[in-house]
Amino acid sequence: MLQNKYSFNKSSTELVISGLPDYSNNDNNDSISIISNWKLSILNQPEIEGGIDHLKSVIKAFYKCATLSLLDREEKIESQLIDLNLEESGIYTIILKSTKPNVKPLKLMIGYAEFSDIINCFDQLKNFKKIKIDFNELLPNIKKKSILSFDKSKFSNTIIPPLLAIFSISIFTFISIYLLENKDSRNKKLSIISNNPDIVIKIK
């Protein structure tokens, strides 16, 4: 039986999906419900290919990494088939693990442009109706951070210094106003005394 094959391209990346329709579900002849093979080609990188389990793991890891980046959260993604981590240098380190024995993991290092192109190819696949993949199970379910949860060290370094500065300015302002008021009060008393020469001031 002749397999169907579709490709998705974006700049440095090409994703190719091959497979067969599932006639038991009344699929059309040009559809793919049974993915037999897939291949991801990235410019200046080794080709990545495998079965449906690998494809799902790769898609899930990339979508999760992209979502965490948008949320400005750092988290190393690890699974049985793929590890994905964004380094401080801005390079994405990908480790692909084979299910076959005695096969060493494949390590790739790509930049943001290649990462974005891969995500774009996965988006094209998600919106392509002729290939049936349940993306609901592949999209990340990331828990939102509680409003009450915070980093104590970050709080100490970013919040406390401005508060101390404001407190110091307030104290300085209060003392200055207090001294000025006392000075004005003394000046008024001296003025009254000087205008009334009959007043005698006794100091005990």
Please give the Cα distance from 132 to 127 (Å, whole number): 10
The residues near 147 (Cβ < 8 Å, ≥ 6 apart) are: none
Q: Residues 142-180, buried b or exposed e (16+ Cβ, 10 A)?
A: eeeeeeeeeeeeeeeeeeeeeeeeeeeeeeeeeeeeeee
pLDDT of 94 strictly over 90: yes
pLDDT of 58 strictly over 70: yes
What per-residue confidence (pLDDT) applies to 1? 63
Alpha helices in the chain (DSSP H): 52-70, 112-126, 152-158, 160-195
What are the tokens at 167? 């407190």
**CB-hemisphere CA count at 13 Å for 7?**
7
Burial of 76 (0-12, 13-18, 19+ CB in 10 A): exposed
Q: What does the pLDDT look like over 176-193, one tens digit per residue? A: 676 666 655 655 554 555
Decide if 111 contacts 92 (C-beta within 8 A).
yes
Please give the DSSP secondary-structure letter assigned to residue 170.
H
What confidence category does residue 2 fall into, taking pLDDT thresholds of 50, 70 and 90?
confident
What per-residue confidence (pLDDT) applies to 150? 47
What per-residue confidence (pLDDT) applies to 201? 45
Mean pLDDT, rounded, of the chain: 82
What per-residue confidence (pLDDT) applies to 146? 47
What is the topology classification, in CATH, of domain 4-137?
Answer: Transcriptional Co-activator pc4; Chain A (2.30.31)
